[in-house]
A and B are shown apart, each in its own frame.
Chain A
């Protein structure tokens, strides 16, 4: 079946440091890939997405590139802020569109803490 594996963490960084959170996936076909962010006590927010190979998703300074050859979708940010402290989830969806119910497969989440 489909699966998503991401860095366990927790990841602790100082403000303005470079961030990488690794994510790899296993799925047949051509899934869409997502990063969601969850701030303490809140629901999940879509951070960025990519729908085909070599697509780059970006939002709020975060980027991730859909690498089909390495089945990866690593999240990066050049300079993190204290406000980026949250849990980050990598996810995929297969069989998007049509009559499919669009089941998301999530990684376990990575806790990021950024110190001033």
Chain B
């Protein structure tokens, strides 16, 4: 069966510091991968998606970037965090040709 992991689970970072969040998927090959941000525990905003290694599409311009160095690894980064980057970050995967996305456990980021 497929599983999706995210780490760290929680993170507290000062403004201006770098960020690296990791997402990995097991039990599938060539998944479509997604990064979402959830603010105030409610709506989800799609940040990035990837259909393959090295292929990244950005949904909104912002202080964040994403990379996919391996087939089942998706990384969310920032060079300098802003207060507004605080939130709950969710990674999701979808098998190619299937309509359902499956979500990871999330990372709670607090920028102080």
Contacts and interface: CB of A to CB of B under 8 A. Distances in A.
Nearest to A98: B97
Interface residues of A, number: 25
B103 A43 contact: yes
21 contacts: A34-B100, A36-B103, A42-B105, A43-B6, A43-B103, A43-B105, A44-B92, A44-B103, A46-B102, A49-B99, A87-B41, A96-B98, A97-B99, A101-B49, A102-B32, A102-B94, A102-B101, A104-B44, A104-B101, A109-B41, A109-B42
Determine the main DSSP class of B at the interface with A.
Answer: strand
A106 B103 CA distance: 14
B102 A87 contact: no
A113 to B, nearest CB: 13
Interface in A45-82: 45-46, 49, 51
A51 B99 contact: yes
Interface string B75-112: 00000000000000010101001111111111010000
Given A44-B90, A89-B44, A108-B42, A103 B49 contact: yes
Interface residues of B, number: 25
Interface of A: 32, 34, 36, 41-46, 49, 51, 87, 89, 93, 96-99, 101-104, 106, 108-109
A87 B43 CA distance: 10
A32 to B, nearest CB: 4
A106 B43 contact: yes
A93 B99 contact: yes
B49 to A, nearest CB: 5
A3 B41 CA distance: 19
B57 interface: yes
A46 B100 contact: yes
Contacts of A98: 97
B46 interface: yes
